[in-house]
Amino acid sequence: EIVLTQSPATLSLSPGERATLSCRASQSVSSSLAWYQQKPGQAPRLLIYDASKRATGIPARFSGSGSGTDFTLTISSLEPEDFAVYYCQQRSNWVTFGGGTKVEIK
Amino acid sequence: QVQLVQSGAEVKKPGASVKVSCKASGYTFINYGISWVRQAPGQGLEWMGWISAYNGNTNYAQKLQGRVTMTTDTSTSTAYMELRSLRSDDTAVYYCARGVATTPFDFPFWGQGTLVTVSS
């Protein structure tokens, strides 16, 4: 099973700041990595797939990068609605999710 | 538009079984597989497995092998997930999710979730 490790566990930032979230895979997943946003009481929302492609309707302030084992989700300037939990997910070998990063208001 | 509508909340006793349904609409059901993902209270996401709506082929997470069964009913465009021998740590929100043709395991489409509570 491919293990995904996300860091940090919690990111405390203010609106307008840049957020950088990390996801590391225990073995190469090539570019088969996605990012999701989840708010309380809601299903996850797909943001990024294939490591760097934005899903339909996702604002340009969200960007993904990386390949192999190291990946980054960047939110260029945090909006109030961006404070949530973010998960990475690989589909190189079936599916696993990372443990999540909570982006909270500082 | 694609919709996945799940059955309602369940309360079960330890050792019992639960069967959650996921009714699909807005697309040709047999063209896409369905994955099931669960989330324990305050915890992260756990992929449980996948079923092809075309031929019923399945792949289950190793952790759940022997306790989970995923099925589909193509006549009603509904997917089912049954979990047996329930334990307290099976308490979670259970989601069905669907991918797209080119990336069946990236999930832009989700059901609303079904809370399963296991308690004596």
B47/A96 Cβ within 8 A:
yes
B44/A98 Cβ within 8 A:
yes
The neighbouring-strand residues paired with A34 are: A89
The neighbouring-strand residues paired with A25 are: A4
What is the pLDDT at residue A21?
Answer: 98
* Contact criterion met (CB below 8 Å) for A23 and A88: yes
Residue B42 sits at the chain A interface (C-beta within 8 Å): no
Question: Best residue in A6, A94, A96 to probe B by mutation, most B CBs within 10 Å?
Answer: A94
pLDDT digits (tens, 9 = 90+) for A45-83: 999 999 999 999 999 999 999 999 999 999 999 999 999
Give me the mean pLDDT over the B59-81 stretch.
97
A39 CB-near residues (< 8 Å, 6+ apart): A84, A85
Q: Which residue of A has its CA nearest to B104?
A: A91
